[in-house]
Every structure is written in structure tokens, then in C-alpha cells.
Structure 1
Amino acid sequence: MGSRVERFFKTAVFPGAIAAETFDTLINRLKAIGIDKTVRRQLHGLRDLYNDAKHDPTTPIRLKRTVDMATAGRAAVQTLIEAGIGATSAPVETVISRLLWISAYDVYVGGVTEVYVSLPLPEDIFATHLDLVWIKGLEWDTMKAELLATGCFHYGKEHFDPVVYSRFVEEQDFLNAGIWDGDYRQLIRIISKYEDRPTAARLIPDLRRDHMCIAVLSAIALAAVDVATVAPAPVAVEKLRSQILEHADEVYAMPNERVWVHAAATGLAELIVQLPIASWAQLSGPFWNLWNPKQLNAVVAPADLKKVPYVIDDANRVVIT
């Protein structure tokens, strides 16, 4: 917690602060911009607790001191945010970082390339796919370059266990693979831009993204979070549903032509409208609770999870179940 508060100071309270500036120095700088001694003392108390734990980790930290300092530090940080210092009032998009496999396969007869997004389960013979996009074969290098430019994409066999990579090679028409280590939303936005929807619809209509259940649910969840988090006021179910479908089509290449796509958007919209508007801005997701599922504390859930496989939990996460 102390480390995160220090990073908050260097990125939000004093954006552009040089790495050499200490946490102590940054707290003291608050005096020059009118933050009173009480707030600075609360932050120094948290800093002292942080330093004690960091420099002498074998010494027990008393619970009462921890609770007192953390509570006071939280109040002090809230004061800085309410004062709008630096970039503290700027909106923040919740980043959902994931470690995922990206693999590509050429379909020569159609001039397209299949791009799969999969969970990295190295012990499984068959990869667990989360998404599939068909792109024009000539655009693979362009899309790959955009992925590499993010700094989150690690391309080539050297990034895989040899046994895992050998399974890729054994598959027909395998092109290459890489590992994505970053924001899931950013990944899907990039690969969706390259979707060759007309060719996919003509050659393989039953293998389009809107025929892949998990891809549909994930795209609808991404779109719903995007729409809900910027809504200034509550929106009726039907309007929210329409906005989700439109955004999913435009940004995440999920066509709204299938009845199950509409059903997913309707079901999630019905859950979101049950939340207070203050919770809408805090929504994040999707999170997948499908493999080795964990117990969730659902704030809102559908009457039938088989028909609407979403819940919104007590951390304001849209969870696919």
C-alpha cells in the first residue's frame, strides 16, 4: 500500500516528478500548494509505517498503529483528490491485464488468417480459446507490428516452452504465435480493427466471432463497461441495451445480427440498471469465472445463470460465469 501511494504521488499528485525525488520530499512539497500540516502529518505517518515495514520486515507491526495510520492516510489522500491537485481528478480507466496466447493460422483458400486469443494453459493438449478473429492474410504483419508497438506483445517461439510451441507447429497451417502481457481491452480493440467480416461470413459463417459463446460474452461485457462507466445518469434498460450493441459492433467487431448477442446485451443491461449510478462508474470487466470457478459475492445476479451467464460482484466486476 505504501508503494502504491508513493506511485500515486509521482504520477498523479506531482505528474512528471523525477525518480530521484523521495516520498518524504513529495509530501513536503504539499506545503507550497496550500495543504495544511495535519494532512501532511497524516501522510508522513503512513510513510513512516511503510519505511519501517520495508527496512525491517522481521519486526512485527502493531495492528492498532497500522489501522490508525492507514485510516489517517486514506483521509489525507482523499483531501488531495477533492482539492484536484495535479492529475488527481482525471478519470482513470481500469486496466485488466492478462497473460494470453495469440496464435495465427493461414487459410490460403480464402486469403485470410485465423487469429486466436487463448488462455495460457500449458498442460492442456487443446488451448482454451477466448476469442477468434479472421483477418486478411496480407494484414497479419501490420496487425503484428501494432501489437509489438504496445510493448505488451512478445512474439516468437523463444517466449514459449518448447513442448507448448511444438503443439502449435503440429497444427495445420500454423503461422506463428506470441504472448500478450497487458490490458485485455487494448488487445481486443487492436485485433478487432482488422477483422475481415465479409470473408468470414462467406467462407465460414459458423466460425465467426458471433458464433463463439465466450467471445460474444466478453465483447458484450467490454462494451457494457465502456458505456456504463461514462453514463452521467441512469439509463433505461432498452436504451442501455442498444448502446451496448452499437458499441460492441463498432469497437469490438461483434455484429449484432444474432439472437444470442442481443440476449447477452439485454441480460447484462438488466443487471447494470439494478446498481446505483455511483457504481456504474466503477464497473470493470470482463472477468472469467469459468475454469476452476471461485465463490463470488454477487451484488446483482440473474434469476437463471444458464440464460444470462453474468454476475456483478461486490468489487463492481462484470464476471462471466
Structure 2
Amino acid sequence: MTRGDELLASVDAALHDLDGYRLAHYRSDQVRDVVQRLGSITERFFKSAVWPGTPAEVTLDTLIGRLKRHGLDKATRSALHALRELYNDAKHDSAATIGLKGAHDTILRARAALVAVLDLGLGSSAAEVSQATSRLLWVGAWDDYVGGLTEVYISLPLPGEPFATHVDVVHIAGLSWDAMRAELLATTCFHLGPDHFAPDDYHRYAAEGDFLAAGVWDGDYRQLVAILSRYERREAKDELIPGLRRDHMPLAVLSAVVLAATDVAAAAAESRPADALAREILARADAAYAMPDERPWVRRRAEEIAALIAEAPFDTWRTLSGPYWELWDAKGRFTRRAEASPVGYSLDEQGRIVIGHVRSTEHEA
């Protein structure tokens, strides 16, 4: 499935939902919810697939207007603008009546217009969709003025304990924060500022010395790590004490290796042995997720996950997804385990690569 196929599937799902209201009583807010969901997906598609990396301040109106230079006619652009206006009403105007027939007709016309957009082949609209692992996460940034770096942590959202479980950390140049923040906001998955936290939780972030900002990520974990990794100041690794480096953080290592492994498995044209898979996983982890293979435990994790994938039927490789974090006892849940792993890498019946309880080894402390 391409990203364009995924978008059209979302449009068809919206039309199906609206069709379900045709033979029953319905409330305007039910139609409004359908329109809001589809509008958000469409806006995200234009900003991340048609024109990847679009700054957050660029509007959907502007992006639709750009299609003129690519030969898209006025009637087709008007159908897209109609969907945009309907989305704006549903999202911002609580007094607006969002009728069933009008919404259905607008979305149906927009579908044909979106097909025309996809035919242009712009950006990554024809790219294959990676298996997405969406998760609600907290992202916090703190300045380190001495080193000129900014620490950006990804954490599990545990109310009352915002620092209980860090999933990952990157160290970026302090001057790169504005650019990275803009890229995160442009995804429409990132929600910055105290309005998106419980007051006590945000206060705990802000109370830490040199606090810069915090936000909530609600989307594909792979996309979040890929963005942060592009900004990591990798040459600064030797300036950090070992415990602060990404490749010394067990859960960051485990997660980056799984992201790389699912990429490699999805792209494989044929089955291959575990040792070849491990080499490709390490190369991908370094190139896409800024996880170098310098440490023996990183190489060991790649070997473990490669062995797990190599044992799975090849026709399932493209559907593997992960990481999924199960940081508690999930006895009986898993169908297969990597016996050499002390942390519970597993592949369940749904093709999900799961990371269980994480224990630091003597090399990873």
C-alpha cells in the first residue's frame, strides 16, 4: 500500500461512515467528527507526503494553490478547497451546521480530486507505507549551555511521573531547536506547550533546570525518531559521559534496532539468513535512526532481532511492525521469544515485535 492508497482508504472509510447515517437519525456532531478526522488526515498528507517537510505555518489553502503550477485545473482545486472549507467549519466554527448530504457530496468530489493529485506523483505520495507504530509520547527539551547542546527526551506519558521511563534521547546543537520544532509541528502530530498536559505534569518539566519546552507526540513513533535523529549532533558523542549517550541507553538501542529491522524486512525482495539481515539492520539503524554499531551490545541486539525475523515465514516480513513496549509482566502473551535476549524481544501472532521488561547489562549501565 502506498501513502496515496492509505489516504484514499481514509476517504472511503469516511464515506462509509456517512453512508451509515443515511438510514438512521443522526446528530450534526457525528458528521462533524467524520469531517474533522478526514480533514486532519488530508492536511497531514499534503504536508508530509505531497510536500514533505512543509513548515507548520504554511496553510492547506496555500498547498492546494500550489497545485496550479503542476497543471491541476481549477475545478479540481475547487473540490479540494471545498473539503478544506468544510474541515475548517467543522474544526473551528461550533455554530456551523455540518449536514450529512453536504458533507458526503463534498467528500465524494474531493476523492476524485485527490486521485488527480496522486496521479501527479508529487513528493512521497507514491511511496510504500511503513508499518506505523503510533503512540502517545511526551517530548521534552532542556538546554545545556556549557556544551552548547539541547537534550531532547522522548518519554512514556506516566501522569505524576514524567521522568519515570525515557524511551530515547538525542543531543542536538542548541541553535537547531527552532528548525526541529518547526519540522515536528509541520507533521500535525506534535502538540507543543502546557495546554496539552495536566498542570502538575507540565510543572514538573518546567521545574527542571534549563527547561526549554515540552510537547505531546500523537502519531507514528518511527516518524518521530527519524526527525529527531536527523538533528542529532553525532560528533558530540565523545563529549558526553557514557551514560548520556543514546547507544548506552538500553531502550533507545532496542527500539532503534527494531525500527531498522522492520524497514529491512519490509524492503526485502527475498528471504536471507540472519547474519546478512543483521548487517543490513545495523546499516539502516545508523543511516536512518542515528544508532551507530560501535558498541557490542548494539550489534548483539541486531543479531537477536535478525534471528527472530529469519525464523518467521518470508511472506510475513512485509507486515512486521514495532517496536511495541510492554514494560510489565505479560506472561503467556508472546508466541515466540529470542532466547538469547535478556529483555524479551518477541514476535507475536499479529506480527508485532514487542520489547518486554528492560534490564541493563554490565555494558549498558
Which TM-score band applies after superposition, normalised by the shorter structure?
A: 0.7 to 0.9
In the alignment, which residue of structure 2 is the partner of 1:256? 293
- 2:235 aligned residue: 198
Give the corresponding residue for 2:347. Answer: 312
* Residue equivalent to 2:92: none
Partner of 2:138: 101
Q: 1:28 maps to what in 2?
A: none
Secondary structure in structure 2 of the residue aligned to 1:281: helix
Do residues 232 (structure 1) and 269 (structure 2) align? yes
Deviation at 1:123, TM superposition (A): 2.5
SS for the counterpart of 1:124 is coil
TM-score under structure 2 length normalisation: 0.64
| More strand, by proportion | 1
Q: Which residue of 1 aligns with 2:220?
A: 183
Structure 2 counterpart of 1:167, from 180, 184, 204: 204
Deviations, residues 161-211 of structure 1 (Å, cap 9, x unaligned):
111111112212111100001110000000000001111322333311000
User: For the Cα contact (< 8 Å) 2:260–2:285, is it kept in 1?
Assistant: yes
Alpha carbons 2:144, 2:150 under 8 Å: kept? yes
Q: Which whole-Å CA distance do the structure 1 matches of 2:127 and 2:283 have between them? A: 27
Q: Could you tell me how far 1:157 is from its partner in structure 2?
A: 1.3
Change in 2 beyond 3 A, CA 1:294/1:122: farther
- The structure, 1 or 2, with the larger RCO (C-alpha pairs under 8 Å, 6+ apart) is 2
Unaligned segments of structure 2, at least 5 residues: 26-117, 120-125, 357-365
Amino acid at match of 2:245: R
TM-score by length of 1: 0.72
Amino acid across the alignment from 1:301? R
**Counterpart in the other structure of 1:303:** 339
| 2:257 matched residue in structure 1 | 220
Query: Secondary structure at the residue paired with 2:327?
Result: coil
* 1:1-321 superposed matches below 5 A: 11-12=8-9, 55=24, 91-124=128-161, 126-291=163-328, 293=330, 295-298=332-335, 300-306=336-342, 309-321=344-356
Preserved contact between residue 130 and residue 263 of structure 2 (Cα < 8 Å): no
Instruction: Indicate the percent of aligned positions where both proteins have the same amino acid.
Output: 49
Q: Look at both structures and tell me which one has the larger radius of gyration over its CA atoms.
A: 1
Amino acid in the other structure paired with 2:346: V
Deviation per CA, 1:29-59, whole angstroms, max 9, x where unpaired? xxxxxxxxxxxxxxxxxx8xx679x949xxx
Residue 311 of structure 2 aligns to a residue whose secondary structure is coil
Gaps (5+ residues) in structure 1?
1-7, 25-46, 57-85
Distance 1:182 1:106 in 2: 25
Number of equivalent positions? 255
Aligned amino acid, residue 284 of structure 2: H
